[in-house]
Amino acid sequence: MKERLKQLAKAFDLKFNENWFNYIWISKEENTLLEYMWMCPDPIFVKYGETSYERTKHIENFLDSGDFKECLHRFGGQAINKDTFMKYFPSRISNIENGKVRSSLSKIYKKIIKSMGKSARIAILTKSSIKPEIERLKDFVLFHEWIHILVNENGLKFPHEIKDNWKYNEGLVTYLQEFYAGKLNELEENVRKTRYDFQKQYYIYALKFRQLLKNTNNPRKRKELLRKFIILKRVR
């Protein structure tokens, strides 16, 4: 997979270092708590709060809800930035009143930091005993999260001050993943067949990058266009 990433990096004139890429498995329950408290913008979490303060305040309501049980049937991943994680996550944990929940999140935090070692970022994958899920996680999901790390290491992340920044970040990574797979012509079909609106945004925004880069075959030019696009979004 690192060789695939290296080829993708070359196609966009991106720096590549195989030591950037690592991953860790955590349970579906741990990943759900992590997504909830790490401000995942999925509507299933947003209904309990749009700020970390609100999420902390309503975490017990979330854990007692059908939404939490639904999330335990999901599988997937995310990429964590060590500096940001260390800066903000401990304070969010300390603000949780329920000692048991606070302890669970502290264990998750320590596990992730320990697994990172000297790495600046790490991919998080949910454990699963279901074979199709495991295959999807080891291939599609891990590649997706490692592309996030590749993009971030090259300074191509859309920052929080940009409205809907998560949509642009997921759209860019989805575009790059489909670019490597040679499936950019299937994006419209993916928009149509994806039922969950949150996930549909990945493909909708990937189309924006396909339009942006459609007439560009030069790796350096591709990177320049992406950088200019991020700057443009910052100004607006």
pLDDT at 138: 95
**143 has a pLDDT exceeding 90:** yes
All structural domains of the chain with their residue ranges: 18-131+148-154, 156-236
* Closest alpha carbon to 184 in 196, 167, 172: 172
pLDDT tier, 235 (very low <50, low <70, confident <90, very high otherwise): confident
When mean pLDDT is compared across 14-18, 43-47, 117-121, 232-236, the lowest value belongs to: 232-236
pLDDT score of 35? 97
User: Does the pLDDT of residue 90 top 90, yes or no?
Assistant: yes
The reported pLDDT for the residue numbered 227 is 97
pLDDT tens readout for residues 182-198 = 999 999 999 999 999 99
pLDDT recorded at residue 27: 97
Work out the angle between the directed axes of helices 142-153 and 165-181 (0-180°, nearest 10): 110
Q: What are phi and psi of 133, to 5 degrees?
A: -65, -45
Place of tokens 């560009």: 216
Question: How far apart are the C-alpha atoms of 13 and 6, rounded to whole Å?
Answer: 10
pLDDT digits (tens, 9 = 90+) for 64-79: 999 999 999 999 999 9
Q: What is the mean pLDDT of residues 148-172?
A: 96
Decide: 31 and 57 in contact? Cβ < 8 Å.
no
What does the pLDDT average to over 157-167?
A: 94
Question: Which pLDDT value is given to residue 234?
Answer: 86
pLDDT at 236: 72
